[in-house]
């Protein structure tokens, strides 16, 4: 049985006096792709941001590879092997594709080697980015920008990849390419925690899933079980989750 790579226990977090997460418990084992689904405003993005230190936990524990990380700085977590692909991609538009990718390796000890190996990996995963290497990121299509955001996160060779709404606003063909890439990454041993607006799509590709409602985990299980669950199907797979929060 695979070891637990990420453990979130009794996590409370929010913004200022506004509480968002209320005692969240989540586990992701080495090599898994785990989906986190839920309606708009459930707290899914806040959970990812708290894991990477962009939002500070008020209480509870976050453990990565056996070490507590809930007080770590975001840049230190990148060095530990945790990378976030945020909703909205957050690329540096005026900079070229290559420059954006090189920034992804900023925390590596051997940056030159990380860039060389990272670029080879990215080219194999998303060949179009090699073709667009000298092009400003802002001029890419939406799908290409999402590929670049994922590729930039991969430049630091993460053990755990957190993705926030990777399919948002993309055409079905491009979404298929993105999820095929996620399947390849999982096959390579990258562990993935995925927040996705298309709950059915996420569960079809995931090993397990968690259902989140108003800052709490209300259901968890194998993806096949959640897809077959009548209440999950009625509430979360019938369109409600597909709305942007």
User: Looking at the predicted structure, is the pLDDT value of residue 148 above 60?
Assistant: yes
Asked if the structure places residue 110 within a domain, the reply is no
Asked if the structure places residue 53 within a domain, the reply is yes
Provide the pLDDT for residue 11.
Answer: 98
Provide the pLDDT for residue 210.
Answer: 96
Q: How confident is the model at residue 1 (pLDDT cuts 50, 70, 90)?
A: low
The structure tokens 């986190």 sit at: 36
Asked if the structure places residue 229 within a domain, the reply is yes
pLDDT tens figures, 87-143: 888 898 999 999 999 988 887 778 788 898 889 999 999 999 999 999 999 999 999
User: Looking at the predicted structure, is the pLDDT value of residue 241 above 50?
Assistant: no
Length of the chain, please? 245
User: Looking at the predicted structure, is the pLDDT value of residue 151 above 90?
Assistant: yes
Q: What are phi and psi of 96, to 5 degrees?
A: -75, 165
User: Looking at the predicted structure, is the pLDDT value of residue 197 above 90?
Assistant: no
Provide the pLDDT for residue 237.
Answer: 67
CATH number at residue 68: 3.40.50.300
Cβ count within 10 A of residue 194:
27
Asked if the structure places residue 70 within a domain, the reply is yes
Domain residues for the domain of 45 are 1-81+158-166+191-240
pTM over 0.75: yes
Asked if the structure places residue 181 within a domain, the reply is no
Q: What is the total count of domains within the chain?
A: 1
pLDDT tens figures, 214-231: 999 999 999 999 998 887
Provide the pLDDT for residue 90.
Answer: 87
- 237 near 39, Cβ under 8 Å? no
What rounded mean pLDDT belongs to the chain?
A: 91
Of the candidates 17, 90, 18, the one whose C-alpha atom is nearest the C-alpha of residue 52 is 90
Asked if the structure places residue 128 within a domain, the reply is no
Asked if the structure places residue 94 within a domain, the reply is no
Asked if the structure places residue 14 within a domain, the reply is yes
pLDDT tens figures, 159-170: 999 999 999 889
Of the chain, the percentage scoring pLDDT greater than 90 comes to 76
Provide the pLDDT for residue 82.
Answer: 96
Instruction: Give the C-alpha distances (Å, rounded to integers) separating 58 from 14, 25, 49, 61, 217.
Output: 8, 14, 13, 10, 17
Separation CA 223–CA 229 (nearest Å): 10
pLDDT tens figures, 23-47: 999 999 999 999 999 988 899 999 9
Provide the pLDDT for residue 69.
Answer: 96
Provide the pLDDT for residue 108.
Answer: 74
Q: How confident is the model at residue 242 (pLDDT cuts 50, 70, 90)?
A: very low
Query: CB within 8 A of 224, min separation 6: which ones?
Result: none
């Amino acid at each position: 049985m695979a070891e637990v790579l990420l453990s979130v226990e009794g996590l409370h977090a929010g913004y200022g006096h506004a509480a968002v997460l209320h005692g969240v418990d989540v586990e992701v084992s080495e090599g898994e792709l785990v989906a986190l689904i839920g309606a708009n405003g459930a707290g899914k993005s806040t959970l990812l941001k708290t894991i990477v230190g962009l939002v500070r936990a008020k209480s509870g524990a976050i453990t990565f590879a056996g070490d507590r990380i809930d007080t770590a700085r975001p840049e230190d977590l990148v060095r530990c092997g945790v990378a976030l692909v945020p909703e909205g991609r957050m690329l540096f538009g005026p900079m070229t594709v290559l420059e954006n990718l090189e920034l992804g390796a900023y925390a590596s000890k051997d940056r030159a080697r990380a860039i060389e190996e990272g670029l080879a990996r990215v080219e194999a995963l998303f060949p179009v980015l090699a073709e667009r290497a000298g092009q400003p990121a802002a001029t890419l299509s939406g799908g290409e920008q999402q590929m670049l955001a994922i590729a930039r996160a991969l430049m630091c060779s993460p053990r755990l990849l957190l993705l926030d709404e990777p399919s948002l606003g993309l055409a079905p063909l491009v979404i298929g390419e993105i999820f095929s890439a996620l399947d390849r990454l999982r096959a390579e041993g990258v562990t993935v925690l995925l927040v996705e607006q298309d709950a059915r799509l996420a569960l079809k590709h995931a090993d397990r899933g968690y259902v989140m409602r108003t800052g709490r985990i209300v259901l968890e299980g194998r993806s096949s079980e959640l897809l077959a669950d009548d209440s999950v199907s009625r509430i979360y797979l019938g369109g409600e989750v597909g709305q942007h929060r």
